[in-house]
Amino acid sequence: MALGSRMRDLRRGLGRTGQQPEPSPPPVTADTVSDCDLEVDGGLREAYWQVFGVPHGEGPVATTWSPDARQALRRALVAAGNDGGYWAGRRYLFDAILADPGNRAHALLSRCRVDPSMVRTATRADENVSAEDQPRLPVVESLQTFGVVPARNATRPSRLLARILTAGASRLADADPVLYVMEMEAIRQAVRLGNSRVTTAHLVLATLVLHEELVTAGPWEPETVGALGSAGAILAARGVTSFSVGRHLATLSSFGDAAPKQRHRAWRTNPKHPKWTVAAAQAAEATRNASPQGQEDVSAGTARLFVSALADADDDAVRMLHRLSIDPAAVVKEAERLIAPQ
Q: Are residues 107 and 235 in the same domain?
A: no
Asked if residue 201 and residue 158 are part of one domain, the reply reads: yes
Question: Does residue 57 share a domain with residue 164?
Answer: no
pLDDT tens for 151-205 read: 765 455 555 554 555 545 555 556 678 888 999 999 999 999 999 999 999 999 9
Give the per-residue pLDDT at 85: 74
* pLDDT value at residue 29: 39
Same domain, 176 and 252: yes
Are the C-beta atoms of residues 289 and 282 closer than 8 Å to each other?
A: no
- The DSSP symbol for 236 reads H
Q: How far is the C-alpha of 171 from the C-alpha of 177, rounded, in Å?
A: 10
Q: For the chain, where are the alpha helices, taking DSSP H only?
A: 3-13, 30-33, 37-52, 67-82, 90-99, 104-111, 116-125, 127-132, 138-145, 159-173, 177-192, 200-217, 222-225, 230-236, 242-249, 278-290, 298-309, 316-323, 328-339
* Last residue in a domain, options 67, 98, 132: 132
pLDDT in tens, 119-130: 888 877 776 666
Is the same domain home to 160 and 276?
Answer: yes
Mean pLDDT computed over 34-58: 82
200: CATH: 1.10.1780.10
Range of the domain at 185: 138-339
- Which of residues 69, 98, 132 is at a domain's end? 132
| Bridge partner list, 198 | 276
Please tell me whether residues 26 and 67 are part of one structural domain: yes
Residue 47 sits in the same domain as residue 91: yes
- Structural domain total, the chain: 2
124 in the same domain as 158: no
Closest by CA to 94, choosing from 3, 6, 173, is 3
Based on the domain organization, do 247 and 322 belong to the same domain?
Answer: yes
**Cβ contact 323:248 at 8 Å:** yes
pTM beyond 0.85: no
Q: Are residues 227 and 304 in the same domain?
A: yes
Does 13 score more than 50 pLDDT? no
Q: State the chain's mean pLDDT as an integer.
A: 78
Of 197, 108, 71, the residue nearest 189 (C-alpha): 197
Q: Are residues 196 and 277 in the same domain?
A: yes
Per-residue pLDDT at 110: 85
Least confident of 12-21, 44-53, 264-273: 12-21
Out of 34-43, 217-226, 263-272, 273-282, least confident range: 217-226
- Pick from 132, 154, 175: which residue ends a domain? 132
CATH code: domain of residue 96:
1.10.1780
90-121, pLDDT tens digit by residue?
A: 888 888 888 888 888 888 888 898 888 888 88
pLDDT at 65 over 70: yes
What H or E segment, with its residue span, contains residue 275? strand 275-276
pLDDT at position 21 is 38
Are 272 and 320 within one domain?
yes
